Homo-oligomer: A and B are copies of this chain.
């Protein structure tokens, strides 16, 4: 249901190939760039940083594990490991959820918030330098639309809910 029907190998045109190569190239370099920048300036990979950002924007700087995993588009297992690591670093703390004894809240600590405050300018600057400072307003708008289309197409099948929301 997800992939090919045999017998009709519709290859990519030359232009499509070239766009695809550019896409892979650029996204690879970008991810490497940001991982390196954050590893250097904040001591953690990009995705971990993203988790802290999510927490910093949540109501009481905390979120249920499952919700956080969903918002960050990672598996719960991966999140468990990641939070364990962030806890060891002191940026996050776990708290039992009062209303559901199975639940855990990941809470951004003051140290975590402070770290975020310190490293955010550098990160924004890296993003801006790598992407926005190089694009015209038209290109920026266009990129937004395109990424929106692609994301929507890849969105977890169930159009509405969060049932098999990831893999």
Binding site for B on A (CB under 8 A): 2-4, 6, 9-12, 15-16, 18-20, 22-33, 36-37, 41, 50, 73, 120-122, 124-132, 134-135, 139-151, 153-155, 166-167
Contact between chains at A3 and B167 (CB < 8 Å): no
CB-CB nearest in chain B for A18? B144
Measured CB to CB, the closest approach of chain B to A33, in angstroms, equals: 5
Measured CB to CB, the closest approach of chain B to A4, in angstroms, equals: 4
Contact between chains at B30 and A154 (CB < 8 Å): yes
Measured CB to CB, the closest approach of chain B to A84, in angstroms, equals: 22
Contact between chains at B154 and A15 (CB < 8 Å): no
With A32-B167, A132-B12: A146-B154 Cβ-Cβ less than 8 Å: no
